[in-house]
Amino acid sequence: MDTLEDVDEVVHEPSEEFVESTNVYQFMQEYDIDDYDELVERTTGDVEWFWDEMVDYLDIDFYEPYEAVRGDADGPQFSEWYEGGEINIAHNAVDRHAAPDAETRNKVACIWEGEDGEVREVTFHELARQSNKVANALEARGVEKGDAVGLYMPMVPEVISILYGAFKVGAIVVPIFSGFGVEATATRIEDPECSVLFTADGFYRRGSEVRLKGTADEAIEAAGHVEHTIVYDRFGSRGAADSAVPWHDDRDEWWDEAVETRSDEYDTVPMDARDESMILYTSGTTGKPKGTVQTHAGQLVQCAKEIYFGFDHKPSDRFFWVSDIGWMMGPWTLIGNHAHAGTVFMYEGAPDHPEPDRFWEMIDRHSISTFGISPTAIRALRKYGDEWLEGHDLSSLRLLGSTGEPWDPESWQWFYEHVGGGEAPIINISGGTEICGCFLMPMPIQPLKPCTLGGPGLGMDVDIVDSQGESIADTHERGFLVARDSAPSMTKGLWQDDERYLEEYWSTFEDMWDHGDWAQKDEDGFWFLHGRADDAINVAGRKVGPAEVEGALIDHDAVNQAAAVGVPDDTTGQAVVTYVILEDGYEAGDDLREELRAQVGTELGKPFRPREVLFVSEFPKTQSGKIIRRAIEATYTGEDLGDMSSIENPEALDRLEDAR
């Protein structure tokens, strides 16, 4: 994001009618809260009051009521939320909505579209029956409460029943990104010792078949532990004479045989509120991935709260967030919406296949009301041109969403005006895998400036501090984003590594969670992020965030996307090197290169002028559209790339090497 001066104008003002229709406004009326500032103060100043109120307000159903909202004997690092209570996510997300007397029994829980155009709808009744079959299949294979179950699956409807079926038996779900290669997949199987792995023969991406089963087999061989592999048949491979699916008769079973033959009745197991529900892995800049641990009560209440208030859930909503089940936003979308019997839209394939208007066409055809996507993906779609939006009715959209990285003002404005019609607010959120939710989240009642994250999420006691841990939020200086208190969904340590957990998050400041982001609150109370503090480029003792350099480059009319990295320099310690993707109609050349260097120098200061500006046609990205900057840096410096299995377009690495 650019400097605050570049985003100082309020561009979105919700109408009074819209404000008064929102769930958060109704909450404020019920609790005599007059304005947004008081809302934040009430919900973050007494977090135990707020999270206690959420249980009844959001109609969260406990089998046994909790005895205490929070036990904090070991400090905020190891808070115990909803002590004594018994609950299960699957009961709240599926069972009660599918009950014989429930009005939502035949409501659609998921609309799915494959890349090939196939469309399926699954009701809550159907989802409950299939989840019960999964639960029975797991029990038949010896899975008990506390056992880990791996989920290395494409985005097909069956992934939802696997998630809830595992919750039903009390297993710990381990989602694994379907784009991961052998090493990353093996780590996520080995660490929690998954005894069962769900996978598929593959999925479709850009019109081609992407095979999964072979990678799964190699990962199992490297990791061990897996005794049963249940394989979903996406391609019609089962029984095909020319099937290319590798098979191990002593371990592998087709989905139809392992799951569909089971009873569709099952009594969901009540779980202690503090029992583990899920291990979500997040990659650190060094070392092995970190296994963050969610609980049944914490994950459910946080996701349900954010969908209900931040995204203003309505019964008629159709919610589409571009993600994979292996990333936090996948389970967050499902659990948060299904807690309210909401309808989720799921898409299997690429955003620009067969044409760049695939998303716009699906939003129109399926009447999507909420659409979430990464800033980088929007920058890529914007590059195709406004004409791809023409002829598509996007008026069903009530709210837009984004997360994952800083915006630039131009792309934010394009998303707001061209996709949201200048009416749908952009709920730009930031938190992370470690909390399966958001530290910062605008409320739909707020006016918005480009790129803002609004303010603290409800019930999230966050602050901005200097290097000594003193609050500087109200001085409007840039500082470190921290949490001064815990929240129910804050990771329950790291899986089998509490020492690393304390070192990663709690060692910088006393009794404060250091999230690692640079944050700033402007004079009008809007919060902004400036990228990762640990990604800072240090040029002769002066630091700048990659996002700031990238924002300065994107300010130039010729630049569509940019990536900045810090590289070793004999004189200054580090130097800035940048890669840019140009808008159509502009040509790379030395004159433009010097213009871009000068622009960064003018906006950020001469020390931060890039040592090099290199032109490329694409960046290495994940399936969700995020640029993999560590791959760019390693390619430039010649260092080992490490595990690059999350890259959707590995050919982009070759183009980086050829950049001039």
CATH number of the domain enclosing 626 = 3.30.300.30
The predicted-structure confidence for 192-209, as pLDDT tens digits, reads as follows 999 999 999 999 999 999
Kindly state whether residue 205 falls inside one of the protein's structural domains: no
Residues for the chain: how many in total?
Answer: 660
Look at residue 646 in the predicted model and tell me its pLDDT.
64
The predicted-structure confidence for 237-253, as pLDDT tens digits, reads as follows 887 766 789 999 999 99
Domain that holds residue 556: 536-657
Show Cβ contacts of residue 144 under 8 Å, excluding neighbours closer than 6 positions.
169, 170, 171
Kindly state whether residue 568 falls inside one of the protein's structural domains: yes
Kindly state whether residue 598 falls inside one of the protein's structural domains: yes
Cα(355)–Cα(388) distance, rounded to whole angstroms? 9
Look at residue 99 in the predicted model and tell me its pLDDT.
98
Number of compact structural domains in the chain: 1
Closest CA relative to residue 453, chosen from 397, 515, 403, 398: 403
Cα(84)–Cα(64) distance, rounded to whole angstroms? 8
Kindly state whether residue 164 falls inside one of the protein's structural domains: no
Q: Are 367 and 392 in contact (CB under 8 A)?
A: no
Kindly state whether residue 620 falls inside one of the protein's structural domains: yes
Query: 202 pairs with which residues across the strands?
Result: 211
| pLDDT under 70: residue ranges of the chain | 1-5, 241-242, 283-287, 541-543, 623-625, 641-646, 660
Token reading at 454: 């609004």
Look at residue 285 in the predicted model and tell me its pLDDT.
47
Cα(396)–Cα(116) distance, rounded to whole angstroms? 24
Token reading at 515: 């999230």
Say if pTM beats, i.e. exceeds, 0.75: yes
Cα(358)–Cα(337) distance, rounded to whole angstroms? 24
Tokens 């509490």 found at? 498
Look at residue 653 in the predicted model and tell me its pLDDT.
81
Cα(311)–Cα(305) distance, rounded to whole angstroms? 9
Look at residue 378 in the predicted model and tell me its pLDDT.
93
